[in-house]
Structure formats: C-alpha cells, structure tokens
C-alpha cells in the first residue's frame, strides 16, 4: 500500500512539473490583427528602388518660358533687317568662312575655295531657295571651263541665319553689353523651343545675333553689313 501511494505521488509531481515548464502558445486574441512579418533587407531595398524609378518616370516641370522686356525690345529691332551679309563660321567646318548674303528666303553662299563636284567639275558659289528647298551651284571665279549650273544637296548649305535663331527663342534675359568684332553687343542668356540653353551676342542696333553658343557648339557671323544687298546679288547670273 505504501509503495502504491509513493508511485502515485511521484506521477502527480511529474505532471505538475511538466505543466509549469511548458511554453505558452502564441495565439492571437479575438479581434486583434496578426503581427505582420518584417520585410527582409533585400525586400526593403527593392521597394526603395521601385519608388525611385516611379519618381524618375514622372515628368519634370518645365522651366517658365519668359522673354524679358529688355530682350523683347532688342529682338524687335531684327524686323528692320531686309538683308544681311556676313562671314559665317560654324558647323560642320568651323575653319571655313563662307561669305553669305541672305535676304528673305534666298541666300547666296560663296566658298573661300573651289569645291570639287566630280572629275574636272568644280564650283564656288551656291544659291539656295529655302521655300523650294533647292540648292544650285555655279563656278563664278572665272577659272572654270564649266560654269554650271549644278544641283547640289540643299541641307549641306542651309546654314542657320541670325534670324533663324531669333525665331526659336522661347525664353531670354539680357545680361549686359560687351564688344564682339568691334561692335557693341548685348549678352543674352536664352533657351530655345527644344530646351537647349545658351548665350547670344546680339547686335544692339539691329537685334541680330552675331555669335551663338550652346555647349561646345558655336556659330559666328563676322563683319556683318545690313540692308545693303540688292536682289541681283542673290540671284544666279543665268537668271538675271
């Protein structure tokens, strides 16, 4: 009898000890939200990258397009120009100085050297019509046996004029004056309609840019003369 009691007591004691050391179950109380699983560092980094990508894809706000009153008054003088003659330096060959006379939609471009068209055929003057998009070449130096005319590539000689740059300005601000080729010019910081930003050196009397710079690209219009060209100067001799 004593032995049975001892065995029963030992069993009860063992059960009590086991109940005290068992871990409580992690149950979610009724009505409570289950705890969210913490994101791994890799998932967090991926989320940041997705957010940055979405922000980068959002269109940036365009800069306000403002032409100051001083710049407007300067460019308005450009309307006084009926013709302009200048030495053009610019792409694609800055080393060459083309003698250009521009009036309306017509231009005469004189090359500083003979240009070879084919074997034994050269030219040194190109007349272009910007409406017809046509370029016609002649040799007017007197040293050619075949004076032309020859059809040449229009885009190769459709160099931008000072008036072309004025027409593309979307915002501009005058920044003072200086001298360019001994002529007084106004320095204008500008942006064109394509968003390109640069600097114009604008003739203060006629409102024509004499130098245009944006990035590493430069156009120069040296030794300008205004309103001196006649219609005969920009018309091929064969048509006069």
- What is the reported pTM? 0.70
Structure-model confidence comparison of residues 150 and 24, the more confident one: 150
For residue 205, what pLDDT is reported? 95
Q: Is residue 42 in some structural domain?
A: no
Instruction: Say whether pLDDT at 177 is over 80.
Output: yes
The answer to whether residue 120 sits within a structural domain is: yes
- Is 166 a domain residue? yes
Span between the terminal Cα atoms of the chain, in Å = 146
Q: Is 74 exposed, middle or buried (0-12, 13-18, 19+ CB in 10 A)?
A: buried
Residue 160 above 70 pLDDT? yes
Task: Tell me whether residue 55 is in a domain.
Answer: no
The torsion region of residue 100 among left (phi > 0), alpha (psi -120 to 50) and beta comes to: beta
Label residue 140 exposed, middle or buried (CB < 10 Å: 0-12, 13-18, 19+): middle
Domain that holds residue 147: 69-239
Residue 109 resides in a domain: yes
Give the chain's domain count: 1
The answer to whether residue 218 sits within a structural domain is yes
- The answer to whether residue 89 scores a pLDDT higher than 70 is yes
Strand bridging mode 183-192 / 197-203: antiparallel
- Residue 31, domain member (yes or no): no
- Running DSSP on this structure, what letter comes out for residue 233? G
CATH number at residue 137: 2.50.20.10
* pLDDT band (50, 70, 90) for residue 83: very high
Residue 125 lies in a domain: yes
């Amino acid at each position: 009898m004593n032995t049975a009691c001892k065995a029963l007591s030992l069993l009860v004691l063992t059960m009590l000890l086991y109940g005290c050391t068992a871990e409580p179950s992690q149950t979610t109380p009724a009505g409570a939200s289950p705890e969210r699983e913490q994101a791994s560092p890799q998932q967090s980094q991926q989320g940041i990258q997705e957010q940055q990508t979405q922000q980068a894809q959002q269109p940036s706000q365009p800069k306000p397009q403002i032409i100051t009153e001083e710049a407007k008054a300067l460019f308005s003088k450009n309307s006084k120009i009926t013709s302009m003659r200048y030495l053009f330096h610019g792409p694609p060959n800055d080393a060459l100085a083309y003698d250009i006379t521009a009036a309306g939609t017509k231009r005469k471009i004189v090359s500083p050297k003979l240009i070879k068209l084919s074997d034994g055929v050269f030219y040194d003057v190109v007349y272009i019509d910007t409406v017809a998009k046509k370029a016609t070449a002649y040799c007017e130096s007197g040293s050619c046996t075949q004076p032309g005319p020859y059809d040449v590539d229009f885009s190769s000689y459709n160099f931008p004029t000072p008036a072309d740059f004025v027409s593309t300005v979307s915002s501009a601000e005058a920044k003072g004056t200086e001298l360019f080729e001994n002529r007084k010019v106004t320095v204008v910081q500008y942006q064109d309609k394509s968003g390109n930003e640069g600097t114009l050196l604008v003739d203060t009397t006629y409102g024509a840019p004499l130098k245009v710079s944006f990035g590493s690209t430069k156009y120069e219009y040296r030794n300008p003369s205004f309103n001196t060209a006649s219609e005969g100067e920009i018309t091929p001799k064969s048509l006069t």
